[in-house]
Amino acid sequence: MDEERMRVEAERVAEKLKAKGYNTSVRRAVIKNLMGDTVVKYNVVATKEETVVRWSVSENAYEVSIRVVGEVDEEAAESKGYHIEKDGEYTRLFKRSTKPFSFFDNLP
């Protein structure tokens, strides 16, 4: 995926999150991977009360991390491919894929 398409995709996700009442920011990151290659990545960070959403796209992967206060329906989340981590009162849902996926139905 080229950089322009990644930027457009990140801005589209940020707009959808804004429509749900989240405060958002979009950032471009240039990093070196373990092979020493330079990789461009776009990140969206969105917050609403105590919920934090981190979404990113790189040339070959999409990923999202959703941190919420309280419990989630673990069975439903796992059936959608999310990894679940609990840390005290917070629950974190994480998913990575090589194809785009919707995560908006898992947001409070």
Locate 6 and state its tokens.
């990644």
| pLDDT score of 108 | 64
Range of the domain at 22: 3-102
Asked whether 40 and 64 are in contact (CB, 8 A), the reply is no
Strand locations in 13-88, DSSP E? 23-32, 38-48, 51-58, 62-69, 83-87
State whether residue 107 is helix, strand or coil: coil
Distance CA 58, CA 6 (A): 7
Instruction: Identify the H or E element spanning 16.
Output: helix 3-19
In a domain, 65, yes or no: yes
In a domain, 108, yes or no: no
| pLDDT score of 100 | 87
**What pTM did the predictor assign?**
0.87
Q: Count of domains in the chain?
A: 1
For 42-101, write each residue's pLDDT tens digit.
Answer: 999 999 999 999 999 998 899 999 999 988 888 988 999 999 999 889 999 999 999 888
